[in-house]
Amino acid sequence: MKRWQDIVLPIPDWLNTWAAEISPTLPEVDQRMAAVIDLARINVQHGGGPFAAAVFDQTSGELIAPGVNWVVPGKSSLLHAEVMALALAEQTLGSYELASYGSFELVTSAEPCCQCLGVLQWTGIASIVCGARSEDVEAIGFDEGQRAADWVQGLQRRGISVTREVMRAQAIEVLQSYRGEIYNSRLLTKP
């Protein structure tokens, strides 16, 4: 008989090593994005996907929680960088409602897929900052899923500000250097 147990979100320990080596506060958005893109690059070296994200305090630039794409090693389609960073931020701060602790920004190396777009709306995040565009992600074979064409305006209508194409070229570089598994389920169903 099957016996199910808790599912634990895996947080690779080298994330702590990475965080210990950067400044705990990154006041400029380019510094925050550079750190996140660097994290995506390191994640690929550890067998993860070419995506990273982090939640920062919007005012001070303090790093609250990082996240990396761990779908393949973690054997779960939930484990996207944005989901991991947001879940870890909620656990770190102690609530599913980040807005009750201040204004927080999600910096992500690539624009959010349909899953991450859904999750981030339930977290009370104040803003998101994206590196690569969705078309850059799709150019290497990943799928962004079913999203409204006006998802940016949709987030803005909900009070979440969106900044796109921050250090896009550097984010694309990581995507294009990736030689690991492309877990696009649509590819599996194609004849």
Give the per-residue contact string, 163-182, with Zn ion (x = CB under 5 A; - = no): --------------------
Closer residue to Zn ion, CB minimum distance, 27 or 118: 118
Strand-strand pairing, 52-57 and 127-132? unpaired
Contact assessment for residue 53 and residue 36, using Cβ atoms and an 8 Å cutoff = yes
Closer residue to Zn ion, CB minimum distance, 28 or 135: 135
Closer residue to Zn ion, CB minimum distance, 44 or 116: 116
C-alpha pair distances (Å), 17 with each of 13, 81, 84, 163 = 7, 17, 17, 28
Stretch that binds Zn ion, among 19-27, 115-123, 132-140, 146-154 (CB under 5 A): 115-123
Selected binder of Zn ion within 64, 116, 120, 129 (CB under 5 A): 116
Per DSSP, the residues of 56-119 read: EETTT-BEEEEEE--HHHHT-TT--HHHHHHHHHHHHHTSS-GGGG--EEEEEEE---HHHHHH
Selected binder of Zn ion within 103, 115, 161, 184 (CB under 5 A): 115
Closer residue to Zn ion, CB minimum distance, 7 or 20: 7
Does 40 contact Zn ion by CB under 5 A?
Answer: no
Residue 168: phi and psi, rounded to 5, are: -55, -45
CA angle 27, 30, 35 (to 5 degrees): 85
Residues 129-148 that bind Zn ion (CB under 5 A): none
Selected binder of Zn ion within 80, 93, 110, 123 (CB under 5 A): 80
Selected binder of Zn ion within 29, 34, 64, 113 (CB under 5 A): 113
Q: Which residues bind Zn ion (CB under 5 A)?
A: 80, 113, 115-116
